[in-house]
Amino acid sequence: METMTAAASMKFPREPANYDEISMQQSMLFSDSLKDLKNLRKQLYSAAEYFELSYTNDDQKHVVVNTLKDYAIKALVNTVDHLGSVTFKVNDLLDENIAEVSGTELRVSCLEQRLRTCHEYINREGLSQQSLVINTPNYHKRYILPVGETMNGGLRTKSKYEGCSVDKGDEWHQFRSAIRATIHEAPPSIASKGLSSSPTPRLVQQPGNFAFSKSMPKKDLERRTVSPHRFPLLRSGSLTRKPTTPKSSRPTTPNQSRPTTPNPSSGRQPFISDPRKSASMRIRVGKESPKEFEQFPSKSKRLLKALLSRRKSKKDDTLYTYLDEY
């Protein structure tokens, strides 16, 4: 019984200093409780043997029985206390570990989310870089040609012009070669009347009055037909250098005031600023109306057909009038 009471006695801990000391003390108490539970079985067996001997040897059996009852009750209560404290500590330990694991899971989830965010950011950056590498569609030069005025020979009172674009390189080369061939094969009689500074009305009224090669020799003409600067086509880059009035600014012969080289900086200029001369080079499509772009291939084809048909006749003045505009 003395051992039982000694085992049941609680050790009062001193004041802990920090968390480590508290945990150490709790672990020590837990281990002591487990040791007491282990020793409880031996104590109960030894108490049973003691009471059995006392009951057989002692005359006062009633006192022995009463003592045995008290001891059994105390042993049972002590066992319940031990088991309660041990189970409470085990539960507390398990809950602490589960909470710690839950916190660690949250941290790992946070790390995974961060890593996923980094992956998404990297993918987005790579996609943006690759998308910048992709070449945007580059549209070629586009020319605005007056429709109906030069063909009919009327005055330039109409403000209706139709655009024509040479979308493909083959059409563009065909167009240039057709123009060159037409000019080159033109008879001298046609081009012997001189060239005026504002040729359009007069040239329309006088068919075949194209004085391209009057003031220059044939050798020079051949040389200039080969030169790409002979008929420099107007582009949007030269719009800033041209005056707004077309009649006064249109020279009869191509000069250097009209640059033939494409100007990339003028690729985003408006489509028509000077409708008679304008030719713009576009880089992007999205800001323009789609109808205009749909009209240009058909117009260019019509223009090529007209040029080629006029080339055979060689007497049509409209072509020269038309070419005179350039």
Partner 1 sequence: MARAGGITNAVNVGIAVQADWENREFISHVSLNVRRLFDFLVQFESTTKNKLSSLNEKLDTLERRLEMLEVQVSNATSNPALFTST
Task: Based on the shown chain and the rule CB under 8 A, indicate whether residue 104 belongs to the binding site for partner 1.
Answer: yes
From residue 110, alpha-carbon distances to 40, 100, 114, 118, 318 in Å are: 49, 15, 6, 12, 78
Concatenated DSSP letters for 167-181? -SHHHHHHHHHHHHH
Task: Output 17 or 132, the one with its CB closest to partner 1.
Answer: 132
Task: Based on the shown chain and the rule CB under 8 A, indicate whether residue 52 belongs to the binding site for partner 1.
Answer: no
| Residue 76: exposure state from Cβ atoms within 10 A (0-12, 13-18, ≥19) | exposed
Task: Output 6 or 122, the one with its CB closest to partner 1.
Answer: 122
From 108, 155, 226, 285, residue interacting with partner 1 (rule: CB under 8 A): 108
Q: How far apart are CA 55 and CA 72, in angstroms?
A: 15
User: Would you tell me how many other CB atoms lie within 10 Å of the CB of residue 293?
Assistant: 16
- Could you tell me the two tokens for 78? 């002590």
Concatenated DSSP letters for 205-259? HSTT---SSSSS-HHHHHHHHHSTTSSPPP-GGGGGGS-S-HHHH--SS--TTS-
Task: Based on the shown chain and the rule CB under 8 A, indicate whether residue 90 belongs to the binding site for partner 1.
Answer: yes
* Minimum distance, C-beta of residue 59 to partner 1, in the bound complex (Å): 17
Task: Based on the shown chain and the rule CB under 8 A, indicate whether residue 1 belongs to the binding site for partner 1.
Answer: no
Task: Based on the shown chain and the rule CB under 8 A, indicate whether residue 72 belongs to the binding site for partner 1.
Answer: yes
Task: Based on the shown chain and the rule CB under 8 A, indicate whether residue 10 belongs to the binding site for partner 1.
Answer: no
Task: Output 34 or 72, the one with its CB closest to partner 1.
Answer: 72
Kind of pairing between the strands at 161-165 and 279-281: unpaired
Task: Output 104 or 309, the one with its CB closest to partner 1.
Answer: 104
User: Would you tell me how many other CB atoms lie within 10 Å of the CB of residue 43?
Assistant: 20
Task: Output 17 or 133, the one with its CB closest to partner 1.
Answer: 133
Task: Based on the shown chain and the rule CB under 8 A, indicate whether residue 128 belongs to the binding site for partner 1.
Answer: no
From 42, 69, 268, 301, residue interacting with partner 1 (rule: CB under 8 A): 69
Task: Output 10 or 90, the one with its CB closest to partner 1.
Answer: 90
| Interacting residues toward partner 1 by CB under 8 A | 65, 69, 72-73, 76, 79-80, 83, 87, 90-91, 94, 97-98, 101-102, 104-105, 108, 111-112, 115, 122, 125, 129
